[in-house]
């Protein structure tokens, strides 16, 4: 099971499970809230029915006793009793500061009444055939807190999940960095021994008169130089690379000139400078050439699979913000949109043979070391692909 390759599916599953848990929590809490709200309204109806009974007994003292003693037993939800003319008869569980004026007290009660009118319909108390009283109320603080509890709970869960995701991502990147560094240093170390041996053999052949005019020696020196550059690349991956001001056009000419002699004669590499620019950028030459080499080799593979002649067109230009843009376009088989989004993933490859690490390395080199950008600008099946690199000038 390749968890990394199928991580998008796992993300969807985790999101769906989270939504299911969250929805269940909200539904369950809302069910409890609905039940409590119904219970509170039944209590108010009970108080109203008792009040109406006492009114029908035409005993004002009993009415006052009922509201002050029975309603007073309620210390949970706020209540206001109005007469048929809209005047406040009494109230309960509404915080009113001590020592305030009667006018200020009425203002507080009227403000609370407006809240109650929006929250619940009043319970009607028929005092007589000509008079009606109304009991207004709103949810208790406990019910209000319970109503918003699932949303607070979901917010806390979301924040926790986000922080956990950041921690996981950071630890994963740190682990990947350690793997990359270890692999790079070990590769550079392993290349060192045979490279030293090859250099010694070349020096030996140079001293032998039989190889004085042999064309093999210069070619061997080129390959040894190439191996030294590869070793330097891996050494730079495992440490902080040294940046120098380099002419990007000359660097491109150097690496493409090397590649042109080692790829199919059917494929041509062309470099175009817009406005004949000579962009000088702070880069690590060895690592930057590695990026261009990886992209060009992928392009060669894409065109070689078709069996037809092809071209790799590299366009160099300046854009606002003193940035250097390098577009590398091939005439290969192109790629689908789904592959465009995964092309830089470690281990992803559309070739039967390959580790799927070339473009991953390219992305790390451009974005981590050169603080630039690299992405697939466009691709069309059967027509080719364009990679774009943006460097800070």
324 with 280: CB under 8 angstroms?
no
- Backbone phi and psi for residue 214, each to the nearest 5 degrees, phi listed first: -80, 130
Where among 166, 187, 220 does a domain terminate? 220
pLDDT tens over the chain, length 393 residues: 444 455 566 667 767 777 777 777 777 777 777 777 777 677 767 666 666 666 565 555 555 555 555 555 556 778 888 888 888 888 878 888 888 898 898 899 999 899 888 888 888 877 666 778 888 888 776 677 777 777 777 777 777 777 777 776 676 666 666 666 666 666 776 777 777 888 888 887 888 787 777 777 887 887 888 788 777 777 766 567 789 999 999 999 999 998 898 888 889 999 999 988 889 999 999 889 989 999 999 899 888 766 678 999 999 999 998 899 999 999 989 999 888 888 888 777 777 666 567 888 899 889 988 999 999 999 999 899 999 999 997
| Paired strand residues for 319 | 323
What distances in angstroms separate CA 69 from CA 64, 72, 134, one per listed residue? Answer: 8, 5, 18
Q: Is 1 contained in some domain?
A: no
DSSP category for residue 242: P
Q: Is 55 contained in some domain?
A: yes
Rounded Cα–Cα distance for residues 138 and 78 (Å)? 6
Check whether residue 253 and residue 203 sit in a common domain: no
Check whether residue 157 and residue 246 sit in a common domain: no
Number of structural domains in the chain: 3
Q: Is 234 contained in some domain?
A: no
**DSSP letter string, 147-189:** HHHHHHHHHHHHHHHHHHHHHHHHHHHHHHHHHHHHHHHHHHH
pTM: 0.53
Check whether residue 244 and residue 383 sit in a common domain: yes
Range of the domain at 335: 240-392
105 with 112: CB under 8 angstroms?
no
Nearest alpha-carbon partner for 291 in 176, 219, 369: 369
Rounded Cα–Cα distance for residues 251 and 292 (Å)? 10
Q: Is 87 contained in some domain?
A: yes
Q: Is 230 contained in some domain?
A: no
Rounded Cα–Cα distance for residues 126 and 138 (Å)? 21
């Amino acid at each position: 099971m390749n968890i990394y390759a199928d991580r998008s599916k796992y993300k969807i599953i985790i999101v769906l499970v989270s939504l299911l848990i969250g929805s269940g929590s909200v539904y369950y809490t809302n069910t409890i809230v609905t039940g409590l709200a119904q219970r509170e309204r039944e209590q108010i109806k009970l108080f109203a029915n008792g009040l109406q009974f006492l009114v029908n007994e035409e005993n004002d003292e009993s009415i006052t006793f009922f509201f002050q003693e029975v309603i007073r037993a309620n210390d949970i939800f706020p209540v206001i009793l109005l007469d048929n003319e809209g005047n406040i008869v009494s109230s309960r569980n509404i915080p009113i500061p001590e020592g305030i004026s009667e006018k200020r007290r009425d203002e507080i009660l009227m403000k609370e009444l407006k809240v109650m009118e929006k929250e619940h319909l009043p319970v009607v108390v028929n005092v007589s055939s000509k008079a009606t009283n109304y009991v207004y109320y709103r949810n208790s603080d406990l019910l209000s807190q319970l109503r918003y509890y699932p949303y607070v709970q979901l917010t806390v869960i979301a924040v926790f999940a986000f922080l956990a995701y950041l921690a996981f991502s950071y630890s994963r990147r740190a682990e990947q960095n350690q793997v990359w560094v270890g692999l790079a240093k070990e590769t550079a170390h392993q290349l060192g021994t045979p490279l030293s041996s090859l250099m010694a053999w070349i020096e030996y052949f140079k001293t032998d008169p039989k190889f004085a005019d042999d064309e093999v020696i210069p070619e061997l020196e080129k390959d040894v130089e190439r191996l030294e550059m590869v070793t330097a690349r891996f050494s730079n991956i495992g440490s902080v690379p040294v940046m120098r001001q380099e002419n990007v056009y000359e660097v491109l000419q150097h690496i493409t000139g090397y590649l042109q002699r080692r790829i199919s004669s059917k494929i041509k590499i062309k470099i175009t400078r817009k406005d004949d620019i000579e962009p000088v950028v702070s880069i690590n030459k060895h690592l930057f050439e590695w990026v261009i080499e990886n992209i060009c080799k992928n392009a060669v593979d894409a065109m070689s699979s078709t069996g037809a002649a092809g071209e790799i067109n590299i366009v160099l230009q300046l854009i606002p913000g003193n940035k250097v843009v390098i577009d590398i376009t091939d005439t290969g088989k192109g790629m689908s949109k789904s592959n465009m989004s995964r092309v830089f993933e470690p281990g992803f490859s559309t070739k039967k043979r390959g580790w799927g690490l070339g473009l991953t390395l390219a992305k790390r080199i451009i974005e981590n070391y050169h603080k630039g950008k690299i992405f697939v600008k466009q691709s069309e099946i059967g027509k080719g692909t364009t990679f774009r690199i943006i460097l800070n000038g």
